[in-house]
Amino acid sequence: MMLNSSDGIILVDKNEGETSYDVVRKAKRAFKTKKIGHAGTLDPFATGLLIILLGQGTKLSGYLMSGVKSYHATMTLGIGTDTLDRTGRIIGTTAVPDVDPEEIRCAVKGFTGDIEQTPPAYSAINIKGRRAYDLARQGIAVDLQKRMVNIRSIDVISVDLPDITFKVTCSSGTYVRTLAADIGERLGSAGHLKSLRRLSIGGFDVSSALDSRMLDAGIEDFDLAGRMISLKDALPDMKECSINHETARKVINGIRPVRDELAAGGGSMDDYAGFIKLTDGSSLVAVIEVDHMSPDDKSWLKKIRVFT
């Protein structure tokens, strides 16, 4: 099975002032491809890891975006903004609380675990076909429902009031801007996000990323092709099941695999639950979602996404 060499992902370190789409445009020119996207938007003032999806890599968006993310963030107490970050309009000021670093660390630690968050009004959430930030800019009030997110860890790195710098590892869907405002409220103050840098998404780290400015050099002038991560390697944390060439051809031609064909790859059927990547040698054939508790083959395979 052969896939196009431009199918895969590339890790980019986005610079401040760029939109995520700015980086996508540069990658589109560099790789001379139209089929391109990204996993996980970063606001223009934010920097850090942005995963660019090329060719059939665009099919991986949902799997990559669901990964755990980590950020380095600095928030400022005493000032609230409408966007919950430093780019917004100031909507309130309060005195900076007289709290020592240990009190701050204790308050911040209280956000660990499953917490409720209300997404910012200035967010990309879709509301009846329109983005929340478009409605907010028009002064249209929107009712954004609270959602559960998970904060795996949050650690204060430094305190230099009014600024607090912390590192947070969190589930997909977490808004660090909201987290900063909520921390400020818990400390008896207003608060907004001053800076944000995304450090990792799933198993990928910004230390391995290409500076976004290098995309301007073009693929001929810089080893961009050497930075490409294959479709198979783009899902390092997903369980893998190796299938033979015959089964791979059947899957590519639209025939759903059965449990025995997966078991032939050497795994116990009890091992196969949730999302699994089916591979044939170095190629990604499909991503499937299975329920090993299902009593029959039809309901056992819930979803399949084929890569051809």
Cα separation, 147 vs 116, whole angstroms: 5
Q: Per the structure block, which two tokens stand in for 153?
A: 């860890």
Tokens of 115: 């917490």
Radius of gyration of the chain (CA): 22
Give the residue numbers annotated as catalytic, written as ranges: 43
Among candidate residues 47, 53, 43, the one with its CA nearest the CA of residue 7: 53
For the stretch 270-303, what's the b/e string if a residue is b when 16 or more beta carbons lie within 10 angstroms of its beta carbon? eebeebbbbbbeebbbbbbebeeeeeeeeebbee
